Amino acid sequence: MILDILVLLALAFGVFKGFKNGFFVSVVAFLSLLIGTMGALKFSNVVKDFLQHKWGWESSFLPVLSFVIAFVLAILAVRLAAQITTKIFEAAFLGFFNRMLGALFQILVVVLMMSLVYAVLDQINNSIRIIGPETLASSKSYSIYLFVSEHIFPSLFEMVKHLFEKSVDVLQTPTPESI
């Protein structure tokens, strides 16, 4: 029962956050770390060259600093695009539609996250008893989330692996400064 209450609280928070932020901002918040990392990997050399040549910076920490700067800039650019798209939707009087899709998307995120948490908890619980069998048996959500983790995550991991392999190919293309 306590597990179900925690799940309901997480879902309620997700719905609130998704409705508040809207679909585009919710999706971007979910994807910005991935896009920020890829952008930082791709453009950190450009930032490093800029800092060295324009400002004369020399430091052993310059590669790390340039990665962080490129990461932050990539995330800001993606979030700015999401905010512009949100404003366009609101101008077209589709703001409520955007908010409803945001709430639905956040439900999906919470379901995926809780499925992952329950899958890890199940593995740990098999070795070290954290939660008693009667608590797990009384939970309505536990078996549902384990089902999701067993059936959805393998497909999701394959899709992410494929996208990662494609992004590595993109990252290996030369930047304008390296040509």
Q: How far apart are CA 76 and CA 67, in angstroms?
A: 14
Q: Tens digits of per-residue pLDDT, 116-149?
A: 778 777 877 777 888 888 888 888 888 888 787 7
pLDDT exceeds 50 at position 8: yes
Backbone Cα Rg of the chain: 21
State the sign of the Cα–Cα–Cα–Cα dihedral 113, 114, 116, 121: positive
Cα→Cα distances 108→25, 26, 119, 155, Å? 15, 11, 16, 15
* Total-model pTM: 0.54
Read off the pLDDT of each residue in 17-29 and give the average, rounded to a whole number.
82
Distance CA 117, CA 131 (A): 13
Are 18 and 65 in contact, with CB atoms under 8 Å apart? no
Q: Which of 115, 78, 117, 85 is nearest to 102 (CA)?
A: 85
What's residue 36's pLDDT?
75
Determine how many CB atoms are found less than 10 A away from the CB of residue 175.
11
